[in-house]
Amino acid sequence: MKILLVGGSGQLGRAIAVAWRDDEIVAPTHADFPLEDRTTWAAVLDRVRPDLLVNCAAFHNVDVCEVEPAQALAINAVAVDALADAAQQRGIDFLTISTDYVFDGSATRPYTEDDCPRPISAYGVSKLAGELLVLRRRMNAYVVRTCGVYGLHASRSKGTFVDRVIAQARAGEAIRVVNDVVASPTYAGHLAEALRALVATRAYGLYHAVNVGPVSWYDFAAKALDVAGVRYPIDAISAGEWKAAARRPAYSALANAGLARLGIALPAWDEGVAAYVRDKGL
């Protein structure tokens, strides 16, 4: 399969490039495929003529989105709709990534694809709008929500949450992690494998794809230290002590119900962090 991968320099994009290595992947840079500029990227699409267009690009700084909702909607919704439109017109399959932040966090068990989204941040609103704009087309598209992605090639210079926790412990610094926020942190390598299995099915639609099992960020940090062989205390704090511009769901674990129906399984959250620590040599 020939794939045009948007956002290929990001942590999920890089994981896809590795996990889908048997496919022919073209991954233009942000500058060569700017979501803001359809004329520029449409020319690339026409030149590459892929079988599948994969969008891993997003404006996903949640706190900046909160004060720049127009830009969040422009990138995460309007531009995603334009990509879907271009793919549909050309008979190209489309896959785009969405987020657990479409939910409000009031659940007490992992959200399935059948649960009603109710975002509480501008970022979540913009990603939900992107989902709906794609799904309304009834085209050959996969919309895949994931959560707390950490990959070997994190784009931010500070690295992933796991990197920071382990580095702080090794440096003897105080580590403070929220213990009342529950999610499904997901290793990009495992997510990339599941996405490849999904596109092999041609079962288009809305999916959740995460490492399995709800876990608090505190317990996740503790497991990261454990698998890295570091014994070090973590201070538990509440989300209220962590000041941020945007509200975040207190509970946003996802259940991979749709993938399960297709016989596609992801490893558990603790296997995810263990694989990451091993693969990164932490």
Ligand X SMILES: NC(=O)c1ccc[n+]([C@@H]2O[C@H](COP(=O)([O-])OP(=O)(O)OC[C@H]3O[C@@H](n4cnc5c(N)ncnc54)[C@H](OP(=O)(O)O)[C@@H]3O)[C@@H](O)[C@H]2O)c1
Residues annotated as catalytic (active site), given as ranges? 123
The set of residues, in sequence order, having a beta carbon less than 8 Å from that of 151 and lying 6+ positions away, is 10, 11, 12, 14, 15, 160, 187, 188, 189, 276
Among residue numbers 165 through 194, which ones bind ligand X (CB under 6 A)?
Answer: none
Stretch that binds ligand X, among 147-155, 162-170, 212-220, 272-280 (CB under 6 A): 147-155
To ligand X, the closest distance from the beta carbon of 231 in angstroms equals 27
Q: Which of 89, 155, 201, 238 binds ligand X (CB under 6 A)?
A: 155
Question: In DSSP terms, which residues pair with 40 in a beta bridge?
Answer: none
- Our CA angle for 160, 272, 225, nearest 5°, is 60
Closest CA to 14 of 211, 152, 157: 152
Residue sitting closest to ligand X (CB):
10
To ligand X, the closest distance from the beta carbon of 46 in angstroms equals 17
Residue 96 vs 171, nearer CB to ligand X: 96
The set of residues, in sequence order, having a beta carbon less than 8 Å from that of 261 and lying 6+ positions away, is none
Among residue numbers 79 through 118, which ones bind ligand X (CB under 6 A)?
Answer: 97, 99
Cα–Cα distance between 227 and 263 in angstroms, integer?
29
Please tell me whether residue 140 adopts helix, strand or coil conformation.
coil
* Site membership for ligand X, residue 54 (CB under 6 A): no
* Site membership for ligand X, residue 47 (CB under 6 A): no
Stretch that binds ligand X, among 50-58, 102-110, 165-173, 237-245 (CB under 6 A): 50-58
The set of residues, in sequence order, having a beta carbon less than 8 Å from that of 69 and lying 6+ positions away, is 122, 125, 126
Closest CA to 77 of 52, 46, 98: 98
To ligand X, the closest distance from the beta carbon of 89 in angstroms equals 20
* Site membership for ligand X, residue 28 (CB under 6 A): no
Stretch that binds ligand X, among 53-61, 111-119, 195-203, 252-260 (CB under 6 A): 53-61
Among residue numbers 56 through 75, which ones bind ligand X (CB under 6 A)?
Answer: 56-60, 75
For 177, phi then psi, to 5°, come to -135, 140
Binding site for ligand X (CB under 6 A): 7-13, 30, 33-36, 56-60, 75, 97, 99, 146-149, 155
